[in-house]
Structure 1
Amino acid sequence: MTLSFRGFEKNSSDESDSDSGEDFEEFNENDSADSIQDEEENMSDDEAATTMDNETKNGDDDEDEVVKAIKAEKNKQRDHPPTITCDDFIVDISFNPSRNLIALANIVGDILLYEYNTEETKLVNTLELHLKACRDVEFDIDGTTMYSTAKDKVIMAVDVETGKLKKCIEDAHEEPVYSLKCLDDNKIVTGDDGGTVKLWDIRKPDPVFTLKIGDEHVSDMITNDAQKYLVCAGGDGVLTTIDLKGSKIYTTSEEYDSELTCMGLFRSDSKLLVGSSKGKFYLFNWKEFGYHSDEYLGQKHSIQCMVPITQNIVVTSGEDGVLRAAHMFPQRQLGIVGQHRLPVERLDISHDGQFIASCSHDNDVKFWNISYFESIDSIIDVNHKQNKKKDMSNNLPSSSVKNAADFFSGLA
């Protein structure tokens, strides 16, 4: 935005007390521009500084209050890393769990590693790992090993510090691998486009088990700290739970009327939230995966991704490119965290919980400071009557768009 400012001061000439035209003409000749300039040059430094201060003050008084508010917003100290703009479509992102490092997986099969802080993002490594489009990238629990998978059916394990390849599993699945989840003790699980899930110990050449759970892609997988059950969301609208210890299917849910796209855990892992391509959320009690305990319409667009922020708050996004926050217990919309011009593909949260990152179809990765949620979480009024339409359009502090009411509140 280009702003123009007006700070000019026009001084009118003093009227002459002289009653003769000759005197007036004589005044114009003697008080020439040169004599006025000489007078200004003979001013003391203090007098000149005072004059400049007065002119500046008068100019500032002429500025519109809205312009001042805009300038104040522009001059605020940055509280989040700058946007990363990429040449290629970003398929997935993953924050390192122990340092300020984020991995970006793109459509040409490369993984880009960026260090970040509030002032800059710095590309520290480009890893050309896959021959086809990446599908998923994840760090292990310590952040020392990075796993990736792609449409080429290959699973890669890379040392984060050196960038050297630790493990390469070719033809890991018969179908392209769609999703990957890190467990502990060198174990990962992968799901493919054809509904097959495999558990791997990367120290061994073959999978620990292989289970066919459906006919559509495995869109997301999740487990809790105990890692007894692995819950898989499917493109066929079915939630399938695998008993990891017993290497068998534990239960399957009813078939829902849309693709199940993403999942998150809340309330000390006792509640499972599942998003869908029709904008609905389904809430399950942990271990009770056959049928949801509650459901509600989150938005009219497809929900592609979610990230839990606190034990009660989730941020979701998808087809409309808007990141929205909701409080789950009680359920109510909190507002807009941020926005992209195009659909959002993935979300993730930093190791310290201060930022979330989002990647969009416009090849941008944006960062949002969400530290304010800790205070919001503790002051939610359970008896407050929700205006859902108003709350869904409310711009939260991290949003790049300000609410008109907030913006003009200090201008009265």
Structure 2
Amino acid sequence: MNTSSDDASSTSESVSDNDSDNVPVIKKSKASTSAGLLSEHNKDNNEEESINSMHRNHPPSVTLEDMITDICFHPKLDTIGIASITGDVFMYKYNNEETNLVSTMELHLKACRDIEFSEDGQKLFSTGKDLCIAITDVETEKLVRLYEKVHEQPIYTMTIINEHVFVTGDDDGVVKLWDLRQKGSEPIFSIKEVEDYISAMITNTDAKYLACTSGDCLTTINIPERKLHLQSEDHGDELTCLGLFKMESKLLTASNKGKMYVYNWGEFGLHSDEFPNATKKAINCMIPVTENVVITGGEDGIIRAISLFPYRHLGIVGQHNFSVETLDINNDGTLIASSSHDNDINFWNVQYFESLNVTEPQKGGKRKWLEHNLPSSKIHNRSDFFAEL
């Protein structure tokens, strides 16, 4: 959920979250009198208000003055943490009517690269370009622990393994394992098996293997034995993000060329499935929303939903003006948040995936489904707009 650049800036206007949320349904009036026209007009207004209410069941957007580098939902509360290029972390409380800034924590001297909440939500872990790891008490906003200059290169990504152990990966391909029960600032394990930056890391409930993407291969580490487990075949394109599906039995990774590869968990040498590059644009981030549906954020600014088994593009969840860099999902799985280089956080209600039939046959061909707007999108499909004219 990180951006690949901490030094970029953007002054572009963000997409409006007001009038663009919904396009009113146009109906052809059959009334021939002014009274009939007025009645039809009132009916249309009521229907439009109903549609607006349905599609605005998400918090308003958040806009920062500085570039957003990561986002993370609180695991218990309706709160989202937002990391910035200045090194600060902003905490916002949200509901469907408003998003309010409740605290600002100045945690790093340089760009804050990654933020993660502990499982109980009491602590916030953060990493920065200043080579530091900070652990902060969320309620008191006091620093609990600080690891200073613990990597030689800036830390790019971080993953919490359990209540005691977490892992960091840096721009030079170094992975370090940390145990909070240990005193001092030394990791319990360090390994470097790749030359490129560590773009993403993930483990499952058992926490036996840690899967890391870097460059064109997948590297797995045996966590209990603290050693390299296996490296995959070269993919020929840069792997960018990871997700777990099918009760953690499937590992999905995506690339800068828009391809996706599926691994059976525990069988990391060779991928079991490969999905083609539908748009040939980089997939920067992904988030599972069901055991079978992944939402991806693309270089083209489009947030798409994809069914994995069967493989099928379900449509567009939302849009940004620029490349989508971060995605996260809230504690009850009903909202996702996304950010782009326009310094905005947008929220999208994805509750409809609970009842979405992903096995329904496609109509209209590949292009139509790549451009199909799902209920969370702020843009209506043209066919919907003209359906009742």
Distance between the aligned counterparts of 1:286 and 1:237, measured in 2?
A: 18
Which of 1 and 2 has greater Rg? 1
Match of 1:355 among 320, 335, 342: 335
Aligned to 2:212: 232
- CA 1:382–1:400: 2 relative to 1, 3 Å: closer
Deviation above 3 Å: which 4+ runs of structure 1?
Answer: 55-59, 61-77, 382-386
How many residue pairs match? The answer is 357
In structure 2, what residue type is equivalent to 1:272? L
- Residue 294 of structure 1 deviates from its aligned partner by 1.1
Equivalent position to 2:144, from 151, 156, 166: 166
Task: Please show how residues 7-406 of structure 1 align to structure 2 within 5 Å.
Answer: 57=35, 60=38, 73-74=51-52, 78-204=56-182, 205=184, 206-234=186-214, 236-296=215-275, 297-376=277-356, 379-381=357-359, 387-406=365-384
1:117 CA displacement? 0.8
AA aligned to 2:171 is D
Partners of 2:349 and 2:81 lie apart in 1 by 18
For 2:55 and 2:237, the matched residues in 1 are separated by 43
Structure 1 residue 380, shift from structure 2 partner: 2.6
Q: Higher relative contact order at CA 8 Å, sep ≥6: structure 1 or structure 2?
A: 2
Shift, 1:78, TM fit: 2.8
| Residue identity opposite 2:68 in structure 1 | I
Pair 1:87–1:56, CA change in 2 (3 A): farther
Q: 2: distance between equivalents of 1:251 and 1:368?
A: 37
Unaligned runs of 5+ in 2: 1-18, 24-32
CA contact (8 A) 1:280 1:299 kept: no
- Displacement after TM superposition at 1:255 (Å): 1.6
> For structure 1, which runs of at least 5 residues remain unmatched after alignment?
4-54
> Quick check: 2:175–2:191 contact (8 Å CA) kept in 1?
yes
What is the aligned partner in structure 2 of residue 51 from structure 1? none
Q: Cα distance, 1:337 vs. partner?
A: 0.2
Retained in 1: the 8 A contact 2:119–2:163?
Answer: no
1:138-192 superposed Cα distances (whole Å, 9 cap, x missing partner): 0111111110001110000001111110110001101110000011122110000
Q: CA deviation at 1:381?
A: 2.4
Q: Which amino acid aligns with 1:127?
A: M
> Conserved in 1, the CA contact under 8 Å of 2:118 and 2:163?
no
Aligned-residue offset at 1:318: 2.1
Q: Percent identity?
A: 47
Aligned-pair CA distance for 1:408: 3.4
Please list the CA deviations of residues 6-44 of structure 1 after superposition, one character each: whole Å capped at 9, or x if unmatched: xxxxxxxxxxxxxxxxxxxxxxxxxxxxxxxxxxxxxxx
Normalised TM-score (structure 2): 0.87
- Whether the 8 Å CA contact 1:330–1:382 is kept in 2: the answer is no
Residues 339-377 of structure 1 deviation map (CA, whole Å, 9 limit, x = unaligned): 01111110000000010000110000000000000101x
CA contact (8 A) 1:281 1:298 kept: no
**How many Å apart are 1:299 and its aligned residue?**
2.6
Taking the aligned partners of 1:152 and 1:108, their CA distance within structure 2 comes to: 11
